[in-house]
Structure 1
Amino acid sequence: MGDEKFPRVQGGGSLILAWQIRNKRVLVVGGGEVAAGRILNVLNADAKVTVVSPRQGLNHEVAYRIEKGQVDYVDRKFEPSDLDNVDMVLTAIDDPEASSQIWKLCKERKIAANIADVPPECDFYFGSVHRDGPLQIMVSTNGKGPRLANIVRRSIAENLPDNVGEAISKIGKLRQMLRKVAPNPEEGPKRMAWMIRVSDAYSLEDLCEMDERDMATLLRFYAPDKVPRLGCLKAMEEDYDAFDGSFGFCVGWG
């Protein structure tokens, strides 16, 4: 079998992940405009944030986060002890020498860090993100062209359906309900295969129209491994036996 059968390795990229930092401790050094953006990013991911910056260096948004108690605040310049019990460090200060020193300290302690505007001193980059409920799409230029990342991200967002976020929320809810119906680990492959069929069978509009009653009715078709059309679910109401799968026009087998 020739090499053309396998994907070509393209070095120089980043491993793009959805990093789960809920309840992780994030230190933000700096209080200006860049810091404000970083703070919002990690608050959106439910992190516990501490901001270290002299008060005179705070912009209005950072000051607002502090006033509302959304972040912890230390009114002074960075000190090495600030790295104690920290999972991630973000710096956004106009002092290259101090930033590099923070970077070195983070490396010694094996703490993931991002030094704003210094790509070589970053364990990870912030991309341009489109958010619609549970949907997040990130465009990264690996630190080479943040402005172009914004342009690409806007182009992608403009071509997405308006209701895609809501549809994803409904699928997430259905998956949660399915795990209660079929909780055993050995059911995993069947659960996955059935959810794929559901996702393929229903349009975004169908998914948005579903309520929990429809989902509960749909889950009754998991055991026989069938996927009825949404119109059939709506028509069934309480009379499940009348729609037991014998009607070919109601049940999809794809």
Structure 2
Amino acid sequence: MKESNHLFPIFLKLENLRLVMVGGGLIGLEKLEAVLANAPSTNIKLVATTISDDIKQIARLHPNILLVEKAYHSDDLNHADVVIAAVNDKDLATIIAVDAKQKGILINAADKPELCDFYLGSIVKKGNLKIAISTNGKSPTVAKRLKEVFNEIIPDEMDELLNNMAVIRNKLKGDFANKITQLNEVTKTLVATQAASETLAAKIVIQPTDQPEHKQWQQIVKWCLLAFLFMIVGHAFFSFVPFSDILAGVKKLPDYIDTKSFLLMIVCGFLAQMADGSLGMGYGTISTTFLLAIGVNPAIVSSRVHSARVFSSGVSGYSHHRFGNINKKLFQALVIPGILGAIIGAYLAVKAKDYAIYVKIPLSIYTIYLGYYIIQKAFKRKNGQDKVTSAGWLASAGGFMDAFAGGGWGALVTSTLVSKRKNTRYVIGSVCLAEFFVVFASATTFFILLKHLPILDVAGLIIGGVIAAPIAARLVGKLPVKTMLIAVGILVILTSSNTLVRAIINVLHIAN
């Protein structure tokens, strides 16, 4: 007989009940945030031998949370209506479960379904609409994936629809059957049609489909990458190989390589990719800060960074699109404004190259701000209920500053949108795909205006990034994001401050 889910779905008025939570670590933090996100006024007593700073910070903002820092005892469950055992200790969880059952209290034990009277499912929340998803304890990962899907396909305007329906319902007259008939007529457009069902099914599929429209942007990214690659290779070939004496020209190629500069570019690419691979931001900021610190002209800095980023952002955008991580509307809102901002930024960066010593001062101040902005993100809690507005203007500003100053797309656009949207998967995927076209536009503009690309320096950045990529991928799940953000922010601030001081000294020297 096929196994079935026999759980009975129910929505508790948890704010009218007394909740006891045991556990003050990461699991406790996760469960506490889940409760507060859905029932923020719930009376919560949290008991743990050690309580994390993050939980203490939350408790300071919620007077309805009582923290008791001591070892668990069965008396802690007195007067409780519901218990959550948020501990990573099966023996302790079993003891708590036995105590709860003896006192007739319902219990949830994290990651221990055999001890649970109820599960905490993944929750989709759109204002007054709330959908709970359960996999019968089989796969929380699938539940989270479905949550992402529903968060994406249910519009933010759903709460407005519910409010309008409440007004309509209150104005309806007649008996119950008549009201139902009228409400069914009003809401018939919400009934799932075959087309809507096919759209939902397509979104739920984890692997990409083979539909031509799905592959369209992948093909565009691929051909843009190939065109840029041929442009670089062709430039290198015609620049370094004299056709009058090809053999002699090939032998002289090592003479064109500045070993010290090449190694510095590898180090720069390594550091930038370590930050970007671990945090999803920081490549442009780190590499620009580093290159400015070693005295590179600002216009050339940006051209080097963007030439190298064409490849990394292309692969990233291609992968996100392939695995369905794109919000089409958000991508369309970002890409054109971002490209226009990047072209203008690249043009002004080239025109300002003759004033490089003066441009370094505002650029250093800007990168100091980016370092501060990154550190600020480490301490700012994400608000998933904010609505994204003016995404096009944000993309224009991000594209302009990214091209003009050599970095900032991730720090400004990605982090701002992630802080305002609950579904980070679609935000990061859409921004990464848009980033490729923004970087491609600025790199092409630099090539046309400067009439050359620093081939060897770009190669060094790429090689350093390739070395760092697998290391960053391995560390991304092990290093705390907050610590990484603070470390990257401090590095950017210190390096930029050094560049700023040196630039001011040089300007004063010229003035005298």
| Pairwise same-fold verdict (TM > 0.5) | yes
Partner of 1:13: 6
Secondary structure of the 2:117 match is coil
> If you compute each CA radius of gyration, which structure gives the higher value, 1 or 2?
2
Q: In percent, how many aligned pairs have the same letter?
A: 25
- Displacement of 1:146: 0.9
Partner of 1:134: 128
- Give the whole-Å Cα distance in 2 for the aligned partners of 1:129 and 1:80: 30
TM-score between the two structures when normalised by the length of structure 1? 0.64
Q: 1:29 aligns with which of 22, 28, 45?
A: 22
Secondary structure of the 1:126 match is coil
Q: Counterpart amino acid of 2:187? A: S
Instruction: Considering Cα pairs closer than 8 Å and 6+ residues apart, tell me whether 1 or 2 has the greater RCO.
Output: 2
- Displacement of 1:193: 4.0
Q: Which has the higher strand share?
A: 1
Q: 2:187 aligns with which of 181, 196, 199?
A: 199
Secondary structure of the 2:44 match is strand
Q: Counterpart amino acid of 1:156? A: F
Q: 1:148 aligns with which of 142, 154, 164?
A: 142
Secondary structure of the 2:83 match is strand
- Displacement of 1:14: 1.6
Contact 1:28 1:35 in 2 (8 A): yes
- Give the whole-Å Cα distance in 1 for the aligned partners of 2:99 and 2:15: 24
- Displacement of 1:106: 0.9
173 and 104 in structure 1: CA distance in 2 versus 1, 3 angstrom threshold: farther
* 1:161-185 CA distance string (max 9 Å, x none): 331122123323554x44xx87xxx
Q: Which has the higher helix share?
A: 2
42 and 202 in structure 1: CA distance in 2 versus 1, 3 angstrom threshold: closer
* 1:97-133 CA distance string (max 9 Å, x none): 1110110111111111001110100011111211111
Partner of 1:119: 113
Contact 1:31 1:59 in 2 (8 A): no
Q: Following superposition of structure 1 onto structure 2, how do residues 153-232 of structure 1 map, counting pairs within 5 Å?
A: 153-175=147-169, 177-178=170-171, 187-200=175-188
Gaps of 5+ in 1: 1-7, 204-254
Is 1:52 the equivalent of 2:47?
yes
171 and 35 in structure 1: CA distance in 2 versus 1, 3 angstrom threshold: farther
Is 1:91 the equivalent of 2:85?
yes
115 and 189 in structure 1: CA distance in 2 versus 1, 3 angstrom threshold: same
- Give the whole-Å Cα distance in 1 for the aligned partners of 2:89 and 2:24: 13
TM-score between the two structures when normalised by the length of structure 2? 0.34
Secondary structure of the 1:22 match is helix
Contact 2:51 2:69 in 1 (8 A): no
- Give the whole-Å Cα distance in 2 for the aligned partners of 1:143 and 1:169: 34
- Displacement of 1:187: 4.8
Contact 2:42 2:64 in 1 (8 A): no
57 and 133 in structure 1: CA distance in 2 versus 1, 3 angstrom threshold: same
194 and 107 in structure 1: CA distance in 2 versus 1, 3 angstrom threshold: same
- Displacement of 1:190: 4.2
161 and 12 in structure 1: CA distance in 2 versus 1, 3 angstrom threshold: closer
Aligned residues: 188
Q: CA RMSD in A?
A: 2.7
Gaps of 5+ in 2: 192-512
- Give the whole-Å Cα distance in 2 for the aligned partners of 1:202 and 1:145: 29
- Give the whole-Å Cα distance in 2 for the aligned partners of 1:113 and 1:97: 15
82 and 191 in structure 1: CA distance in 2 versus 1, 3 angstrom threshold: farther
Contact 1:114 1:122 in 2 (8 A): yes
Q: Which has the higher mean CA deviation after the structures are superposed, 100-109 or 40-49? A: 40-49
Contact 1:103 1:121 in 2 (8 A): yes
Contact 1:31 1:53 in 2 (8 A): yes
Contact 1:29 1:53 in 2 (8 A): yes
Contact 1:27 1:88 in 2 (8 A): yes
Contact 2:84 2:110 in 1 (8 A): yes
153 and 189 in structure 1: CA distance in 2 versus 1, 3 angstrom threshold: same
